[in-house]
Amino acid sequence: MEQAARDGRTLGGPQDLLDSFFHDVPPDITAQAMAHGELVKSDTPFAKPWPLAAWPEVPTRFLQGRDDRFFPVEFQRRVARERLGITPDEMPGGHLLALAQPVELANRLEAYRAELHNLS
């Protein structure tokens, strides 16, 4: 709600998926996504607890879109710090980075892979 207020948006009515998720996705990509109709979502993440006692000892990075309206960056910074003990990396873009910023996202992921390869 705080992020919506900062953005000059109001919440309380039916969620506008285009506004919340697709606000920075190119119109042609948004049209393709909408043409598929509503996706069937699994209730498992909200119905069952995380099955592990702790996050596994694996190299972990967190990449957050600075303009995410669904999970605002301030919220994600706090969650990543509290739950993972790390500071998220940030890049321009909203919730759907793979659709809105595919090249930059791919470059970031490739840089992470290369960094991990150089460490081993």
11-52 residue pLDDT tens = 665 557 788 889 999 999 999 998 988 878 888 888 988 888
Within a domain: residue 37?
no
Q: What is the pLDDT of residues 104-113, one digit of tens each?
A: 999 999 999 9
Q: How many domains does the chain have?
A: 1
Nearest-CA neighbor of 88 among 116, 60, 68, 110? Answer: 60
Within a domain: residue 10?
no
**Considering the chain, what is the average pLDDT of its residues?**
88
pLDDT at 98 over 80: yes
The residues pairing with 90 across neighbouring beta strands, listed in sequence order, are: 64
> Residue type at 60?
T
Within a domain: residue 1?
no
What is the pTM (predicted TM-score) of this model?
0.79
SS (H, E, C) 36-63: CCCCCCCCHHHHCCCCCCCCCCCCCCCE
Within a domain: residue 50?
no
**Contact (CB, 8 A) for 19 and 69:** yes
> Residue type at 12?
G
Within a domain: residue 120?
yes
Residues 6+ apart with CB under 8 A from 86: 60, 61, 62, 80
Within a domain: residue 80?
yes
Which structural domain range is residue 96 located in?
17-23+59-120
How far, rounded to the nearest angstrom, does the alpha carbon of residue 47 sit from its chain's CA centroid?
21
Within a domain: residue 49?
no
73-79: long-range pairs with CB below 8 Å, 24+: 74/3, 75/3
Within a domain: residue 11?
no
